[in-house]
């Protein structure tokens, strides 16, 4: 790989970092996603990524399907143009819906996982991504084939970790069990849609967007919250949520839960006493 021409040194600017799932990888509480923006409504403008990077965001998320591959192209181009050091970055992309419509250009067959990853790296102009996500669960492919393919990609050095997106807990557990049984790399995290569906302002002094982002980030199961932005100003504005996170006391969180009224119900007990709150999750 050619010598990097580093133009901007990374400064976390006080950004909190957390472990990504079960891995040792540290990711910022807020990261930037390319869905609906990079390669689509935003082309040729490096400012959004630049402003995010200068404000402590060093994780950027995209997918092979975003803007039919143009999101990856735009992200890779901007990283090169800005002169960001690769080791300072956490780049993730997702495999499932390829930009073409051939019979093996979608899904999680070994063929598409390997060839789709190779094409994503070419579009990003990178030798590897830090995290490769299975964008959806593929009911048509044996789970062992999926796990073996992602593990092979990691062994080639094309990705450091693999993870899932919008998988059920049972599907994720099956993948982990197969990986453990066969001594393969297992998924380290799950990327899912998570927001508060804000209905009214529990705390009127906070802008709703800041509260919503802080509420998701406050969840102990959240590693990073992927932001979307079409303007640099949106990135800066969203990061004001960092100041809200420590203000979300248990009392305020309880008020939010009462207002939302949509807390997921627990697992059915069928009349039996509840399990010990400190025991392992019954679904696993």
Domain segments of the chain: what residues? 17-260
More confident: 247 or 279: 247
Dihedral sign, Cα of residue 186, residue 166, residue 103, residue 100: negative
Q: What is the rounded average pLDDT of the residues 262-273?
A: 68
Exactly one of 53, 66, 137, 161 is catalytic; name it.
66
Bridge partners, residue 93, by sequence: 132
- Provide the angle, in degrees to the nearest 10, between the axes of the packed helices 169-182 and 143-155: 60
CB 104 within 8 Å of CB 64: no
One CATH from 3.30.200.20, 3.90.25.10, 3.40.640.10, 3.20.20.100 for 17-260: 3.20.20.100
- Residue 137: active-site member: no
> Per the structure block, which two tokens stand in for 196?
């508060």
Model confidence at 284, pLDDT cuts 50, 70, 90, reads: very low
For 132-186, write each residue's pLDDT tens digit: 999 999 999 999 999 999 999 999 999 999 999 989 889 999 999 999 999 999 9
The least confident of 3-7, 127-131, 231-235 is: 3-7
Mean pLDDT of the chain: 87
∠ CA 166-154-40, nearest 5°, is 50
What pLDDT was estimated at residue 1?
Answer: 47
Q: Residue 122 above 90 pLDDT? A: yes
> Per the structure block, which two tokens stand in for 205?
């002094």
> Per the structure block, which two tokens stand in for 23?
């891995």
DSSP 75: H
More confident: 204 or 20: 20
What pLDDT was estimated at residue 26?
Answer: 96
Q: What is the rounded average pLDDT of the residues 178-207?
A: 68
Q: Residue 230 above 90 pLDDT? A: no
What pLDDT was estimated at residue 280?
Answer: 53
Q: Residue 188 above 60 pLDDT? A: yes
Cα–Cα dist 181/206, whole Å: 48
Q: Residue 195 above 50 pLDDT? A: no
Q: Residue 272 above 60 pLDDT? A: yes
């Amino acid at each position: 790989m050619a010598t990097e021409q580093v133009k901007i040194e990374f400064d976390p600017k006080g950004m909190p970092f957390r472990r990504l799932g079960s891995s040792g990888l540290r990711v910022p509480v807020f990261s930037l996603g390319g869905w609906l923006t990079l390669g689509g409504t935003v082309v040729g403008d490096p400012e959004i990524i630049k402003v995010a990077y200068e404000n402590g965001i060093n994780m950027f998320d995209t997918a092979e399907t975003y803007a039919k591959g143009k999101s990856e192209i735009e992200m890779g181009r901007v990283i090169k143009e800005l002169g960001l050091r690769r080791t300072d970055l956490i780049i993730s992309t997702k495999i499932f819906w390829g930009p073409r419509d051939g019979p093996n250009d979608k899904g999680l067959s070994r063929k598409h996982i390997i060839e789709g990853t190779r094409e994503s790296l070419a579009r990003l102009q990178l030798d590897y991504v830090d995290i490769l996500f299975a964008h959806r669960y593929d009911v048509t492919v044996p789970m062992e084939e999926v796990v073996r393919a992602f593990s092979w990609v990691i062994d080639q050095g094309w990705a450091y970790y693999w993870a899932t997106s919008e998988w059920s807990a049972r599907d994720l557990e099956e993948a982990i069990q197969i990986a453990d049984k066969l001594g393969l790399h297992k998924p380290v995290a799950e990327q899912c849609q998570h927001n508060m569906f804000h209905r009214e302002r529990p705390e009127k002094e906070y802008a709703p967007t800041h509260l919503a982002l802080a509420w998701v980030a406050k969840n102990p199961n959240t590693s990073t919250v992927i932001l979307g932005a079409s303007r640099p100003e949106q990135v800066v504005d969203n990061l004001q949520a960092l100041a809200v996170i420590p203000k979300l006391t248990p009392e305020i969180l309880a008020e939010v839960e009462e207002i939302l009224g949509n807390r997921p119900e627990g697992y059915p007990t069928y009349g039996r006493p509840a399990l010990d709150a400190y025991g392992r999750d019954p679904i696993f």
